[in-house]
């Protein structure tokens, strides 16, 4: 049995989704026109249609994200959108709100968003039993935990392999809602986790001041594809619906190469789409947006994963300064060019940057020498040459076809067969003229038939009968080639595999009996869903609450104590710290609590509820009504 592996890329727009396909993605995920967890990345139905038509030509899939929690008034509109994207040909729907499962959904496969907090075997087995075809795993899971889920379930497993990390378990972060009124579960997170905080002990003494205590490095699991496959993952997801087209091109191409290397060494696996991408560049995730990379908790071992000194991209490490003069500096081997952007950490560990104005005979002239000294480590966070390459057409994806050309009496016949077994044929009546130079005519015939131009095809083999064909005008050969490939395109689109899976409600018991605000229940249908499955909703979603003081606004596997060598159970703990610890920004204070047995940290909002200090917006009033 051959297992299909899927490289899943983000699409902040149709153009970015098409670029992802062209650079090797087997599938893309894109926001619905409304109600996606990246509200600013929703796209129009016409753009979704355009993306689907392009993707399906390569048997690639398009998943539409409608994964926010919904009010009662929004459910009807959401259902209309779901029906429309289904009619357009969407391959699956990514959702968070279980209230949608109480509606008459079209037979579209359902994917459980990571916003559903899919971090336990019990939760995932429930989602499988309810009728989900795939679950997007919590980023915090280790390979061993994923493998245990695989052994005890049959649902498809999708895992993030690259991109920005939310410090909280997805779907369990209420920090933005509590302090700004912008809910992450409603797709409009204000990202307070990327702000500066000061850490204090129980006596109010400052431990760390004005640092990015909750901002994590970016995920990079490119070298762990074999481990994830062994654990049971079949869909490898790149984060980034807010990222630009350059980022998506580069990272998608890099992971395409990594997965293809694995497939080439393991004959029991194949990619899940068709065609091969030819690139004009060498992919390198180090040369694109990143805050430094981490493997997070994949190995099961704790790792220091925070980017304490900056929440911004630092990019690619290029070396250390070896010499400094008044207006230039030197570093060992480099490929820096005029216009590159470099950054470094100052003596106070603040991130500073400058532009390369000129490179001349090993001397690098920046627009500012401030803070530069021998030994300073430099990072390139803007690579001008690389960016210019990616701005152009940098990926060309072609489907392999075999051609058979025959001359029969006063007609020619061209048959084409693609790599998926689809065939098309074109026949044309012609007046055959004997060739004066059969060998040369054969070469010309071959040249015209194999010149597929801007089509999505590449000819890998061509047979010509007879081997010394009669002379035919170039227009005739080009015409029959064009006709047969147009027919093949129609056949491929009609034959593109698409699953139709009706959702049938049941009453499988939910693994918990009582649900508080962490269940994110906003609408009556979501409440009805949980009640039908034997759970009682004791508290609605935090978005509906008027007071959030005292609530746990973040639950995370990341631990500040471990990051700063303050863990009482750690080998590197240098001193005893009086608790409770607190972090604060300019407006709010949060108490930290720890569950060392499960390695969990909780942030509890203290002080007055900031929402009571201002007038609620219309949308906030609607959510609470």
Parallel, antiparallel, or unpaired for β 316-324 and 377-382?
antiparallel
Unique residue bearing structure tokens 């190995």: 299
Residue 396, CB half-sphere, CA atoms under 13 Å: how many?
12
Angle, vertex CA 251, rays to CA 248 and CA 254, nearest 5: 140
| Under 8 Å between Cβ of 410 and 434 | no
Q: How far apart are CA 240 and CA 236, in angstroms?
A: 13
| Under 8 Å between Cβ of 418 and 274 | yes
Q: State which residues of the chain have pLDDT below 50.
A: 608-614, 616, 619-625
Closest CA to 113 of 92, 129, 144: 92
Tell which CATH architecture fits domain 315-391.
Answer: Beta Barrel (2.40)
Structure tokens at 278: 């030819």
| Under 8 Å between Cβ of 251 and 287 | no
Measured CA distances, 202 to 21, 205, 206, 207, 326 (Å): 53, 7, 10, 11, 48
Q: How far apart are CA 371 and CA 377, in angstroms?
A: 11
Measured CA distances, 346 to 14, 287, 355, 372, 374 (Å): 41, 22, 16, 8, 12
Q: What is the pTM of this model?
A: 0.94
**Phi (first) and psi of residue 586, to 5 degrees:** -75, -10
Digit-coded pLDDT (tens) for 79-137 = 999 999 999 999 999 999 999 999 999 999 999 999 999 999 999 999 999 999 999 99
pLDDT score recorded for residue 301: 82
Contacts for 597-601 with beta carbons within 8 Å, 24 or more apart?
A: 599/302, 599/557, 599/559, 600/555, 600/556, 600/557, 601/555, 601/556, 601/557, 601/558, 601/559, 601/560, 601/561
The CATH label, of 3.80.10.10, 2.60.40.10, 3.20.20.380, 3.40.350.10, for the domain at 3-165+217-287 is: 3.20.20.380
Helix H or strand E segment including 354: strand 351-360
Residue positions counted in the chain: 625
Closest CA to 262 of 299, 297, 227: 227
Q: How far apart are CA 256 and CA 265, in angstroms?
A: 14
Structure tokens at 216: 């994590």
Q: How far apart are CA 21 and CA 9, in angstroms?
A: 8
Q: Which residues of 452-461 are buried (b: 16+ CB within 10 A; e: fewer)?
A: beebbbbbee
**Phi (first) and psi of residue 83, to 5 degrees:** -65, -40
pLDDT score recorded for residue 298: 96
Peptide bond into 466 cis (omega under 30): yes
Digit-coded pLDDT (tens) for 292-311 = 999 999 998 888 999 999 99
Q: Where are the domains of the chain?
A: 3-165+217-287, 169-215+546-625, 315-391, 400-495
pLDDT score recorded for residue 39: 81
Largest alpha-carbon pair distance within the chain?
Answer: 100
Closest CA to 46 of 85, 10, 86, 9: 85
pLDDT score recorded for residue 434: 81
Q: What does the mean pLDDT of the chain come to?
A: 94
Give me the residues paired with residue 159 across strands. Answer: 236
- Residue 584, classed as helix, strand or coil, is strand
Unique residue bearing structure tokens 């204070």: 589
Neighbouring residues of 506: CB distance < 8 A, sequence distance ≥ 6 = 129, 130, 131
What is the DSSP-derived secondary structure letter of residue 539? S
Measured CA distances, 604 to 415, 522, 582 (Å): 68, 22, 9
| Under 8 Å between Cβ of 571 and 578 | no
Q: How far apart are CA 531 and CA 519, in angstroms?
A: 12
| Under 8 Å between Cβ of 291 and 311 | yes
Measured CA distances, 39 to 31, 32, 42, 185, 219 (Å): 8, 9, 6, 10, 22
Would you list the DSSP string of 266-315? -TTEEESS--EEEESS---GGGSS-S-EE-TTTTSS----B-TT-SS---
What is the DSSP-derived secondary structure letter of residue 517? G
Question: In 10 A of CB 253, how many CB atoms?
Answer: 28
pLDDT score recorded for residue 573: 56
């Amino acid at each position: 049995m051959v297992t299909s592996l899927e490289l899943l890329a983000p699409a902040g727009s149709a153009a970015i989704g098409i670029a992802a396909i062209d650079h090797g993605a087997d599938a893309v995920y894109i926001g619905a026109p409304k109600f996606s967890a990246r509200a600013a990345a929703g796209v129009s139905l016409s753009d979704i249609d355009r993306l689907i038509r392009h993707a399906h030509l390569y048997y690639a899939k398009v998943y539409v994200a409608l994964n926010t929690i919904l009010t009662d008034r929004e459910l009807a509109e959401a259902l209309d959108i779901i029906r429309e994207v289904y009619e357009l040909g969407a391959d699956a729907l990514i959702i968070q709100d279980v209230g949608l499962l109480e509606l008459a959904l079209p037979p579209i496969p359902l994917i459980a968003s990571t916003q559903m907090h899919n971090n336990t075997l019990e939760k995932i087995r429930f989602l499988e039993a309810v009728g989900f075809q795939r679950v997007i795993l919590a980023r915090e899971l280790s390979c061993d935990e994923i493998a245990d889920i695989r052994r005890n379930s049959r649902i498809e497993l999708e895992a993030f392999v690259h991109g920005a990390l939310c410090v909280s378990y997805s779907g369990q972060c209420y920090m933005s809602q509590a302090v700004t009124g912008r809910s992450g579960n409603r797709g409009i997170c204000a990202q307070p986790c990327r702000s500066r905080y000061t850490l204090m002990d129980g006596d109010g003494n400052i431990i760390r001041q004005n640092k990015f205590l909750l901002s994590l490095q970016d995920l990079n699991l490119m070298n762990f594809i074999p481990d994830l496959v062994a654990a049971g993952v079949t869909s490898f997801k790149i984060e980034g619906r807010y990222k630009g087209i350059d980022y998506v091109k580069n990272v998608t191409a890099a992971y395409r190469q990594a997965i293809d290397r694995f497939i080439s060494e393991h004959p029991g696996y194949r990619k899940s789409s068709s065609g091969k991408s030819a690139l004009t560049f060498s992919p390198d995730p180090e040369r694109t947006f990143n805050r430094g990379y981490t493997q997070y908790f994949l190995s099961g071992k704790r790792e220091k994963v925070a980017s304490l000194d900056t929440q911004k991209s630092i990019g690619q490490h290029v070396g250390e300064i070896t010499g400094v003069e008044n207006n230039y500096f030197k570093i060992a081997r480099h490929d820096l060019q005029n216009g590159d952007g470099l950054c470094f950490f100052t003596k106070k560990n603040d991130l500073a940057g400058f532009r390369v104005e000129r490179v001349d005979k090993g001397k690098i002239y920046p627009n500012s020498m401030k803070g530069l000294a021998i030994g300073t480590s430099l990072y390139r966070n803007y690579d001008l040459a690389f960016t210019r390459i990616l701005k152009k057409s940098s990926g060309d994806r072609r489907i392999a076809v075999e051609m058979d050309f025959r001359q029969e009496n006063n007609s020619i016949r061209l048959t084409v067969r693609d790599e998926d077994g689809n065939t098309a044929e074109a026949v044309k009546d012609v007046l055959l003229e004997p060739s004066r130079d059969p060998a040369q005519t054969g070469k010309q015939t071959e040249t015209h038939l194999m010149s597929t131009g801007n089509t999505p095809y590449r000819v890998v083999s061509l047979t010509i009968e007879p081997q010394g064909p009669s002379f035919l005008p170039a227009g005739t050969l080009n015409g029959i080639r064009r006709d047969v490939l147009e027919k093949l395109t129609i056949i491929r689109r009609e034959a593109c595999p698409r699953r139709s899976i009706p959702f049938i409600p049941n009453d499988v018991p939910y693994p918990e009996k009582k649900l508080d605000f962490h269940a994110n229940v906003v609408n009556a249908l979501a409440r009805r869903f949980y009640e039908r499955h034997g759970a009682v909703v004791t508290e609605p979603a935090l978005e509906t609450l008027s007071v959030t003081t005292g609530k746990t606004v973040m639950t995370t596997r990341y631990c500040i104590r471990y990051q700063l060598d303050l863990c009482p159970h750690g080998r590197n703990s240098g001193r005893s710290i009086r608790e409770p610890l607190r972090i604060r920004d300019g407006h709010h204070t949060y108490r930290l609590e720890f569950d060392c047995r499960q390695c969990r940290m909780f942030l509890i909002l203290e002080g007055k509820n900031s929402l009571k200090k201002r007038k609620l917006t219309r949308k906030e009033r609607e959510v609470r009504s």
